[in-house]
Each structure stands twice: as structure tokens, then as C-alpha cells.
């Protein structure tokens, strides 16, 4: 099989040699072939030494690498055998990470697993495939076959949910659907013994925010006998953990009525229809915080990304500050605040300093108990720190 060869300019190959998975268009010297969006291409240095293989895109990030010469031992052919071997290696790590009463986890986390542009989440035997590049989407049939090879009879279905995450023009031609099997939704899963009903067809992202698993488990350690507010609750992950841990009261708030319905559904899946300790509110979180004077022992602030680009960062920081100022005012004396940011362009230092400013505005004495991140099934490549997007703090508030 012959692929287009792309040769980098002199001095522009250092990043690839350091295993950074992106090649920017300005680094390219010449082409040997005429690649189109999504094509598999090979990357060479100026002297013709093979460096890597990836997917081409006519844009600022021109090549998204999925195999490096130094780790693959040479050139690769991305066929079913290649993807089977790669996914098998990744799964072996997940089997060490995801233990106990849990059957939902992230199998593939993009650059962190050497699969740039690809997310695969596993939900009790169902693989939800989500491509963020045209090239990786074109691999979907091969990846589905590889998943069948890796999981065997354990695999119930593979669902492609990529239309929303692909480049606009190409994404408009894509229809989400099953690549293998069919499983009705909502589909029950277990996470640390808690039951959640997952709808990958209509739900956000792939159906659930798996990246908060460890942080939900930590919350449970603080929730027994406590009054808990779960703001931006989505499907009620933190709420279910708090209730299972014996919280005396849990309030879930989200602006979306659909999210509130999902939360009620997940609470019912664990406790039945009449869990009097829980109440959910379809309301804007800032409106709720400003217009209710109730004090909570534990408050969770887990908003969606406030900034997806550098140009929006300043406005996002101001938003985080206002949110956390109001959140701190709702924490009872001696209580706990779990606060998060999933905005990639807001780094840990900036987020920390923003929370400091919020504490000053709220007039609260605050101590840091935990620095939080994404779990180990969302790994970050040392050479691609941009993959570390989730950050959080657990604060003891006086």
C-alpha cells in the first residue's frame, strides 16, 4: 500500500521526534503526492528518513499522527490487524485501571492513547465511537472490526456518534448510527456500584461524563449525613454518589429540563421513585445561587467549558470567578466545595488564582484539601500536555 509522503522543512522535525502528535502546516516542506482530507500519509524529515504515519487535513494542524517510527519499529499499515493490536494493548492497561463494580470507562482517549482524533467509551459491552478528525472517522469500520476481535462475545454493539465532533462540512454528511449490533437505550451501567442509565443517542458527548468517576467517588467520602448541592448536575452523577453515601439531602440543579429528567431517572434507578432526600430544579445555576439563601455542607460546581479558545479565556475567567464567589457563599461554615473547570485554555495556575479571587470576594477563609484531575483511563501524553483538560479543587470553607 502506497501513501502520500510529506517531507518536513529542515529544523521542523524536532517536535515529531519528541512524539508530539500534531504536525502544523508551516512545518511542511514538500509533498510527494496529492493528499486529501482524511488520507493516511507518511511523514519524513528533509533527508527522507521516515518519522511517523498520520491522517492529513488541509488546515493549521495538517497531520494528526497515530504511529511513530521509534515506537512502531518502522512503517505501519493501519489495517484491522494494526488496530486490533493497538486496542488490545490499550485495553490491557484499562483492565488494571478499572476494577471493582464498574463496567463503564474510556477505552481510547485520543492523543493520550496514541489515537489522535479518536474517543471510544465503553458502556457495559457497548462501544461508543467518536471521531474528531475525518481521517479517524474513515477508520471506523476497521476499528469496529478490531473491537470485535479484542472483546469477542463481550461486545454487544458499536455506535458511531461522530456527526457533532467532525469538521462542519464533512460532519454534515455523517449520520450517527450502529456500526455493529443494536442495543436499546437507556442502557444500564455500573460505576463503583452506582447504577446509571446511559443514552448515547440523545445524551451529551458519548452519553455520560466518565472523566469525573474518581472525583464522584471522592465526594462520597464527604457526603454522609450532609446537605449537598450538585450544580450543573447533567445526569446526576454526583447526586447519586452522595445519596448512596448517606447524604441527608441532595439538591440537583441544571438549566436543562432534559438533564433534570436524566437525573431523576438515575436517582430512580438506584433508589426507586420516592427518594425524599433528593429534589431537582431546572434553573440557571447563577440564578439559583443568587436567589436561594440555603446553606449546604457540600457544594459541587461542575460547569461546562466556559472557554474553547484563547480569545474567550478572559471572559471565561470572569465567569468562573462569579460562579465560585456565589458558590462559596452557599457553603456552610466548615463545609466543602468541589469546583471544576474543563476549559483546556484555562490552565491549573490560572484556575487556582481565579478561585483565590473568588474566595476574597466572598470573604471566606479557604483551605485546599485536594487537587483533582481526570482519571487514569483519560491519560495524558507527556509530549502532548494539552490533553490534560480537567482540573478541580476540593476546598474546606470556614
DSSP 8-state class, residue 116: T
Residues 45, 7: contact at Cβ < 8 Å? yes
Residue 51, CB-side half-sphere exposure with 13 Å CA sphere:
27
Q: Which residues contact 145 (CB under 8 A, 6 or more apart)?
A: 80, 83, 84
DSSP strand pairing (331-341 vs 391-397)? antiparallel
* Catalytic residue, candidates 104, 115, 233, 342: 342
CA–CA dist 76, 220 (Å, integer): 46
* Element holding 95 (H helix, E strand): helix 80-97
Q: What is the DSSP letter of 304?
A: P
Identify whether 233 is a catalytic site residue.
no
Q: Nearest to residue 335, comparing CAs of 302, 304, 367?
A: 367
Distance of alpha carbon 380 from alpha carbon 114, whole angstroms: 10
Tell me the residue ranges of DSSP E strands in 166-303. Answer: 177-180, 187-191, 194-198, 227-231, 249-254, 278-282, 296-301
In which element (H, E) is residue 100 found?
none
Q: Which positions are catalytic?
A: 342
Amino acid at each position: 500500500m502506497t501513501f502520500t509522503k510529506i517531507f518536513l522543512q529542515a529544523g521542523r522535525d524536532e517536535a515529531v521526534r519528541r512524539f508530539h502528535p500534531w504536525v502544523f502546516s508551516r512545518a511542511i516542506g514538500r509533498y510527494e503526492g496529492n493528499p486529501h482530507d482524511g488520507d493516511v500519509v507518511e511523514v519524513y524529515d528533509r533527508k527522507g528518513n521516515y518519522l511517523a504515519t498520520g491522517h492529513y487535513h488541509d488546515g493549521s494542524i495538517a497531520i494528526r499522527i497515530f504511529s511513530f517510527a521509534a515506537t512502531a519499529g518502522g512503517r505501519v499499515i493501519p489495517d484491522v490487524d494494526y488496530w486490533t493490536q493497538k486496542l488490545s494493548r490499550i485495553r490491557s492497561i484499562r483492565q488494571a485501571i478499572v476494577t471493582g463494580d464498574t463496567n463503564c470507562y474510556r477505552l481510547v482517549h485520543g492523543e493520550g492513547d496514541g489515537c489522535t482524533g479518536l474517543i471510544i467509551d465503553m458502556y457495559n459491552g457497548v462501544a461508543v465511537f467518536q471521531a474528531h478528525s475525518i481521517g479517524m472517522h474513515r477508520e471506523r469500520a476497521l476499528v469496529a472490526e478490531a473491537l470485535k476481535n479484542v472483546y469477542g462475545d463481550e461486545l454487544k454493539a458499536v455506535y458511531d456518534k461522530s456527526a457533532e465532533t467532525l469538521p462542519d462540512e464533512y460532519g454534515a454528511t455523517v449520520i450517527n448510527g450502529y456500526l455493529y449490533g443494536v442495543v436499546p437505550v437507556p442502557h444500564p451501567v455500573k460505576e463503583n456500584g452506582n447504577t446509571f442509565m446511559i443514552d448515547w443517542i440523545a445524551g451529551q458527548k458519548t452519553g455520560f461524563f466518565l472523566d469525573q468517576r474518581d472525583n464522584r467517588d471522592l465526594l462520597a467520602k464527604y457526603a454522609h449525613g450532609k446537605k449537598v448541592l450538585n450544580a450543573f448536575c447533567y445526569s446526576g452523577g454526583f447526586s447519586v454518589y452522595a445519596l448512596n453515601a448517606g447524604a441527608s439531602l441532595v439538591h440537583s440543579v441544571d438549566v436543562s429540563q432534559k438533564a433534570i429528567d436524566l437525573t431523576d431517572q438515575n436517582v430512580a434507578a438506584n433508589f426507586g421513585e420516592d427518594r425524599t432526600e433528593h429534589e431537582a430544579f431546572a434553573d440557571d445555576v447563577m440564578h439559583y445561587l443568587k436567589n436561594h439563601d440555603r446553606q449546604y455542607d457540600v457544594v459541587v460546581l461542575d460547569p461546562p467549558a466556559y472557554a474553547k479558545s484563547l480569545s474567550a479565556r478572559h471572559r471565561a475567567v470572569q465567569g468562573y470567578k462569579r460562579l465560585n464567589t456565589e458558590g462559596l457563599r452557599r457553603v456552610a461554615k466548615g463545609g466543602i466545595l468541589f469546583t471544576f473547570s474543563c476549559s483546556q485554555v484555562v490552565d491549573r495556575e490560572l484556575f487556582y488564582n481565579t478561585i483565590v479571587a473568588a474566595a476574597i470576594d466572598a470573604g471566606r477563609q479557604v483551605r485546599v484539601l485536594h487537587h483533582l484531575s481526570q482519571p487514569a483511563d483519560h491519560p495524558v501524553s507527556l509530549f502532548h500536555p494539552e490533553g490534560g483538560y480537567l482540573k478541580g479543587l476540593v476546598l474546606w470553607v470556614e
